[in-house]
Copies of this chain bind each other. A is one copy, B any other.
Amino acid sequence: MSLQGRHILSIDQFSRSELEHFRSVAEKLSPVAKRKVRCTALAGAVLANLFFEASTRTRMSFHTAFARLGGEVVDTTGFTFSSISKGESLEDTARVIAGYADAIVMRHPEQGSVAKFASGINIPVINAGDGIGEHPSQALLDYLTISREFARLGKTIDGMTIAMVGDLKHGRTIHSLAKLLSRFENITFSFIAPENLRAPAELLQELNNAGHKVVEYSGIQEGLKNAAVIYATRIQRERIEGGETMEGYGENFRINRRALTNYAPQDAIVMHPLPRDSRPGAFDLSTDLDDLDNLAIFRQTDNGMLMRMAIFACVLGVDKNIEQTFQPINIYKPKKLSDKDASFYCFDC
């Protein structure tokens, strides 16, 4: 299995065995993310971390992932390159940066722009989100999270039920994760969304065609039943007419402690792509879950850095025997990252 030199543009590119390879490299790198060892596999490599749209946490996640493998990162932020504003084509910009860096991460507000950027160059380009398009590393980290949680709980992805809740129409996270999971077998998708935010018909068709079961619900009361994973998303109300005052949203679509207790299996895990909106009246994933082991949202972001380490290792061809580049480290680390949640690096510490 070699993924070296590959662009990471869409989750559609990957077979099940490739997905499992990313996951297994991530597991190998886990001691690095846990600060038990440091890694020098990418010493001498340079990442161009290009954010044409603000996304501080995603930028930091890619940056720290590359740095933890021993590489050096140059960041850009802002709406555009100064050279693009002078009429330079995206193709020229791409070719110039390919001469500086060994890999490129790119986020851009325009769908398809990352693929266009990547099309003419041969160093690996990783799509960190292009508008309503793809965000493949998010789907990969969600998959890693489900896999690790299930390992803890003795469950398997094949045959599981996942409830996806909220805005299933616009959420690229939902679409990408559903497509990824369709590589596995016999999944039941419980889609729980308001009428005007239902998942696209093509997605349902695609999942059905791949042999999975899709059931749509108009509320969590029925939809959470049997869910091993509850994937909540924020209603991107700024994109929806009347979104600010969605009637009944709180009752039927909001995941909080009461909903979890009343409607879901006891060991269901709760995921969310973050950020969650904690302002009053936001109807997003509730903070009253924060002291429950079920809440996997911070393990999810922890896994984000870890999966991005795995992605870099794979596309830059250092995934094989990567343990040989591990070095001892002797820097202070806390037993747990916070007092509330069980962070990934303490599962076995």
What residues make up the interface of A, taking CB atoms closer than 8 Å to B?
4-5, 35, 38-39, 42-46, 48, 54-57, 60-61, 63-64, 67-68, 72-76, 78, 81-84, 86-89, 92-93, 95-102, 120-124, 234, 274-279, 282, 284, 287, 298, 301-302, 304-305, 315-318, 327, 329-341, 343-344
Contact = CB atoms under 8 A, between A and B. Distances in A.
Contact of A81 (B57, B82, B298): B57
For A48, A95, A318, the residue with the greatest tally of chain B CB atoms inside 10 Å of its CB is A95
Contacts of A277: 86-88
Question: Can you tell how many copies of this chain the complex includes?
Answer: 3
Interface on chain A toward B: helix, strand, loop, or mixed SS?
loop
B46 A88 contact: no
A344 B95 CA distance: 12
For A83, A234, A339, the residue with the greatest tally of chain B CB atoms inside 10 Å of its CB is A83
A187 to B, nearest CB: 28
B99 A337 contact: yes
A48 B74 contact: no
Contacts of A35: 44, 102
Contacts of A100: 60-61, 64, 305
For A42, A64, A339, the residue with the greatest tally of chain B CB atoms inside 10 Å of its CB is A64
Given A82-B56, A87-B284, A284-B87, A340 B120 contact: yes
A344 B100 CA distance: 12
A43 B344 CA distance: 22
A315 B318 CA distance: 33
A99 B282 contact: no
Nearest to A66: B72
5 contacts: A57-B82, A88-B274, A89-B287, A92-B278, A95-B337
A137 B38 CA distance: 28
Given A100-B61, A278-B89, A331 B45 contact: yes
B122 A4 contact: no
